[in-house]
Chain A
């Protein structure tokens, strides 16, 4: 068990709660247990939402799933839609898409990456980075950014708008549209829409490059602080292509250890469950995944922009590749482990997304009309893995002969980062809060550590029936009368 995960005598400690966590997607809280001298004995990130998607899609027809499960999230629904669509392709026996459909799905996904990364950087995180963690609360927000840096604020809004526009054109709506069918897409890209997107893409690339320059400047201006803040040493997991390039839509699984050595590489994601297991802890609705060969104590890992930029051998687009090389030069031969480097990596990915969007729009294949592949060998098991904005996203479904879902397992990006986020807040708690009189600014340090991961807490709490539960009956004098405990296996004891 990690240091500071569970205090030995919690009943004697005072409890500080940061709730709600602000400027993250979804609802969560952090609890700290401190002694009389404000020394930290326990720090935990809790996810207080409950969703239950894995359970209530059981019994539904599989062809409804990509549209149903995208409702997991309002920020990254496209990622869930496409991960489920890839799984449904397998169920329908149509894994090999037509080149046009493949391009359209990638375009849709890149629009999602662009809008989500722009939202997180400009709207949620830039106030901390531009104004400092201790800045006045009333000023430390997107309104403050627009007031002090109107051009920058507007760029953030327009970058996000462009990504949303890509999504609208491909899927019919900016949020929760319909696009993927088993084996393809439901609509080709018209020449008119292609021209509409091409008209602004150069500006979008320029602004994305500007965002990389900005975060790089901020990060390197106070390098020591940014490298140490929330620093943890972790394994990293992401998809890469067969030649090691970063790919956000498809690829094999690659995991590297904290020192940069390869743990596994080019693993067919259909075998993910042989390499990744999930641990359940009694105090959280969110599961804790780990790499099997490393064990649950040290096998936890990070996903998302930091992992992807660290793990890949190169990026296929020229501007983003230059930035990747500069980023990786700060790793001294290993991996960049600074938690705040997530922001830098995220902006490199946004630049990549903008460049790839242009490439796909200029590809004549993208406006083809052959967009549905016919299924051949149908399967009763479908697995779809994609690199969502926040990291590796796994959808796994088992269906019966009638085509309805028997079982679903979703390992969501934020879930993959669960242990890492907890480790980061513990590091920050010890570094900045231990023994201090707590102030809002100090508590914001904790939130800044969580925010670096861009967690989507709504996405991450979808399981049902696997969580350990303890019910205590306490009388009016506060004395424990009875206690019922359900273990993670479902066994109930008194």
Chain B
């Protein structure tokens, strides 16, 4: 006997899911975009950025951690949820130093793309302007802590895939910040390498390949032509790759 297909409903659209899938997994498989920054399909869900918060049977839940259960009625693309997402995105912008005009990641940045998607036109909240350093010590990569949004994707990639455990979060609450696990606290004193998974997962411009920036012309960057809703996450980009310039 053939099993009846299990489905959930997102914004009135019935979509199938397989056992063990989260709402986010099922939505992405059905090409439904739920905004997110800390989610990555290759890593255990984290649920920290809260951008993927949806309404499940009348309750707020993060789509990346909530298992799909047959019959769930889910609201995703609503005015209220998107306004909340916009406020969360604005908070991320003011907590760090995200100067898009000068950032090498501009046009390829997931935070910037989400901000466009949720209709963010200003920071709204007062900027913290935190004083954060830059770690240019590594010969091939630079870590700019100004742009870190604490998604922990580098932490998970280095720990779970690279098995190096180079990155970590220290401090709590508003004092939480990215650190590098080395005696000096510098990247040069780790075995971080160009091919590491952690080198490619940063959704913003916090971990960048040295010297090879702005290589993709304006108009050809990931989010220049289409919204993140269509294009998807920025991790698909390889740092420094370009149609014309060197890698």
Report Cα–Cα, A71/B210, bound state, in Å.
Answer: 22
Interface string of B51-87 (1 = CB under 8 A from A): 0000000000000000000000000000000000000
In the complex, the answer to whether B244 meets A371 with C-beta atoms within 8 Å is yes
Q: Does A61 make an interface contact (CB < 8 A)? A: yes
Report Cα–Cα, A402/B246, bound state, in Å.
Answer: 20
In whole Å, how far is B225's beta carbon from the nearest beta carbon of chain A?
Answer: 13
Please, could you name 10 A-B residue pairs with CB atoms under 8 Å apart, sorted by A?
Answer: A63-B210, A63-B212, A67-B214, A184-B245, A186-B242, A187-B220, A371-B244, A371-B245, A402-B137, A403-B142
| Chain A residues near B219 (CB-CB < 8 A) | 172
| Chain B residues near A64 (CB-CB < 8 A) | 102, 104, 213
In whole Å, how far is A45's beta carbon from the nearest beta carbon of chain B?
Answer: 30
Q: Does B218 make an interface contact (CB < 8 A)? A: yes
Q: Does A242 make an interface contact (CB < 8 A)? A: no
Report Cα–Cα, A280/B210, bound state, in Å.
Answer: 37
In the complex, the answer to whether B142 meets A71 with C-beta atoms within 8 Å is no
Report Cα–Cα, A493/B108, bound state, in Å.
Answer: 51
Q: Does A68 make an interface contact (CB < 8 A)? A: yes
| Interface size, chain B (Cβ < 8 Å) | 23
Report Cα–Cα, A402/B186, bound state, in Å.
Answer: 12
In the complex, the answer to whether B244 meets A187 with C-beta atoms within 8 Å is yes
- Considering only residues 61-79 of chain A, those with a C-beta below 8 Å from chain B are 61, 63-64, 66-68, 71
Interface string of A392-411 (1 = CB under 8 A from B): 00000000001110000000
Given A71-B102, A403-B210, are A186 and B216 neighbors across the interface (CB < 8 Å)?
yes
Q: Does B119 make an interface contact (CB < 8 A)? A: no
| Chain B residues near A177 (CB-CB < 8 A) | 218
Report Cα–Cα, A187/B243, bound state, in Å.
Answer: 9
| Chain B residues near A402 (CB-CB < 8 A) | 136-137
| Interface size, chain A (Cβ < 8 Å) | 29
Given A186-B245, A372-B245, are A403 and B134 neighbors across the interface (CB < 8 Å)?
no
Nearest opposing residue in chain A for B243, CB measure: A187
Q: Does B217 make an interface contact (CB < 8 A)? A: yes
Q: Does B211 make an interface contact (CB < 8 A)? A: yes
Interface string of B135-160 (1 = CB under 8 A from A): 01100001000000000000000000
Nearest opposing residue in chain B for A372, CB measure: B245
Q: Does A262 make an interface contact (CB < 8 A)? A: no
Q: Does B41 make an interface contact (CB < 8 A)? A: no
In the complex, the answer to whether B136 meets A403 with C-beta atoms within 8 Å is yes
Q: Does B215 make an interface contact (CB < 8 A)? A: yes
Interface string of A159-200 (1 = CB under 8 A from B): 000000000000111001110011010111000000000000
In the complex, the answer to whether A60 meets B214 with C-beta atoms within 8 Å is no
In whole Å, how far is B180's beta carbon from the nearest beta carbon of chain A?
Answer: 15
| Chain A residues near B136 (CB-CB < 8 A) | 61, 402-404
Interface string of B217-240 (1 = CB under 8 A from A): 111100000000000000000000
In the complex, the answer to whether B134 meets A59 with C-beta atoms within 8 Å is yes
| Chain A residues near B245 (CB-CB < 8 A) | 181, 184, 186, 371-372
Q: Does B130 make an interface contact (CB < 8 A)? A: no
| Chain B residues near A171 (CB-CB < 8 A) | 218
Q: When A and B form their complex, which 5 residue pairs have the shortest distance between CB atoms, in order from nearest?
A: A172-B218, A402-B136, A187-B217, A68-B102, A178-B214
Report Cα–Cα, A188/B102, bound state, in Å.
Answer: 22
Report Cα–Cα, A181/B242, bound state, in Å.
Answer: 12
Interface string of B189-205 (1 = CB under 8 A from A): 00000000000000000
In the complex, the answer to whether B137 meets A173 with C-beta atoms within 8 Å is no
Report Cα–Cα, A228/B211, bound state, in Å.
Answer: 52
16 more contacts with CB within 8 A, not counting A61-B134, A172-B219, A181-B245, are A60-B134, A61-B142, A63-B214, A64-B102, A64-B213, A68-B102, A177-B218, A178-B214, A181-B215, A186-B242, A186-B245, A188-B244, A372-B244, A402-B136, A403-B210, A404-B136
Nearest opposing residue in chain B for A184, CB measure: B245
Report Cα–Cα, A309/B206, bound state, in Å.
Answer: 47
Q: Does A369 make an interface contact (CB < 8 A)? A: yes
Highest count of chain B CB atoms <10 Å: which of A92, A172, A182, A369: A172
In the complex, the answer to whether A173 meets B244 with C-beta atoms within 8 Å is no
Highest count of chain A CB atoms <10 Å: which of B101, B142, B214, B220: B214
In the complex, the answer to whether B218 meets A178 with C-beta atoms within 8 Å is yes
Which of these, B211, B214, B216, B220, contacts A92 with CB under 8 Å?
B211
Interface string of A195-213 (1 = CB under 8 A from B): 0000000000000000000
Q: Does A379 make an interface contact (CB < 8 A)? A: no
Report Cα–Cα, A176/B218, bound state, in Å.
Answer: 11
Given A61-B210, A184-B245, A186-B244, are A67 and B218 neighbors across the interface (CB < 8 Å)?
no
Q: Does A488 make an interface contact (CB < 8 A)? A: no
In the complex, the answer to whether A369 meets B213 with C-beta atoms within 8 Å is no
| Chain A residues near B211 (CB-CB < 8 A) | 61, 63, 92, 182, 403
In the complex, the answer to whether B102 meets A67 with C-beta atoms within 8 Å is yes
In whole Å, how far is B73's beta carbon from the nearest beta carbon of chain A?
Answer: 45
Q: Does A284 make an interface contact (CB < 8 A)? A: no
